[in-house]
Amino acid sequence: MMNKIIIAIDGFSSTGKSTIAKLLAKKYNYIYVDTGAMYRAVTLFAKQNNFVAKDFLNKESLISNLKDISLSFKFNIDLGFAEMLLNGVNVEKEIRTLEVSQLVSKVSTISEVRKKLVAEQQLMGENRGIVMDGRDIGTVVFPDAELKLFMTASADKRATRRYKELIDRGDKVSFKDILFNVEERDRIDSTREDSPLMKAEDAIGFDNSDMGIKEQFERICALVDRRIL
């Protein structure tokens, strides 16, 4: 009988966490949860209601409207992963824009937001058999996860990957803005007071600046197998 475990993947933005997480979920038939998508959806809600803009954050209004935010995931068979729904509306495309990326770290500093999302994430992992990626999964959401990974890569490599993704889907962005956003999010995510991005003591570090997906995936599968068999 194979054990069902929790796989927690944390790390800086655009380190390929979700690519690895999706591959793992498929191979082991686990649920995949992209927690960044949840923070992005709350940010989109805040933007739509004018609670947040470039140099402005109305914390109190956002906090008092948190109860009106319902988040869910809907599996898309064609894509092979779950898309983010905000109050029943598919927002998968809108939450990936550079504009949302520029606001999300600010919204993610709010403790009330984190409390709501962490509680929902913990419920999703109740029966284990889950791969979750984010910034605080191994430290806060599932400190008892059987496998914790911490991904890093140079800012330049990460910005190059993100730039390609956005250009490929037709967004008009400049490399300079993407690089700035990647570095700015690193800074805010790792210096915020509540649940800053950091490597859990028992997490295994992966620098994938110069490692292909295939090699990384093979190494990580060996780590998973050791824990489930």
Contacting residues toward ligand DC, per CB under 6 A: 13, 35-36, 39-40, 104-105, 108, 134-136, 185, 189
Minimum distance between the CB of residue 162 and ligand DC, rounded to whole angstroms? 9
∠ CA 219-223-226, nearest 5°, is 135
Q: Please, which residue, 62 or 229, has the CB nearer to ligand DC?
A: 62
* DSSP string across 171-226: ----HHHHHHHHHHHHHHHHH-SSS-----TTPEEEE-TT--HHHHHHHHHHHHHH
At residue 82, what are phi and psi to the nearest 5 degrees? Answer: -90, 140
Q: Please, which residue, 3 or 122, has the CB nearer to ligand DC?
A: 122
Strands 147-152 and 204-207, by their bridges, are parallel
Strands 31-34 and 130-134, by their bridges, are parallel
Minimum distance between the CB of residue 118 and ligand DC, rounded to whole angstroms? 8
Minimum distance between the CB of residue 207 and ligand DC, rounded to whole angstroms? 18
Minimum distance between the CB of residue 219 and ligand DC, rounded to whole angstroms? 21
Q: Please, which residue, 2 or 213, has the CB nearer to ligand DC?
A: 213
Q: Please, which residue, 139 or 216, has the CB nearer to ligand DC?
A: 139
Range 212-222 burial, b when 16+ CB lie within 10 A, else e: eeeebbeebee
Q: Please, which residue, 141 or 220, has the CB nearer to ligand DC?
A: 141
Minimum distance between the CB of residue 107 and ligand DC, rounded to whole angstroms? 8
Please name the residue ranges forming H helices in 52-207.
Answer: 59-64, 98-107, 111-124, 155-168, 175-191
Minimum distance between the CB of residue 193 and ligand DC, rounded to whole angstroms? 12
Amino acid at 81: F
Q: Please, which residue, 5 or 133, has the CB nearer to ligand DC?
A: 133
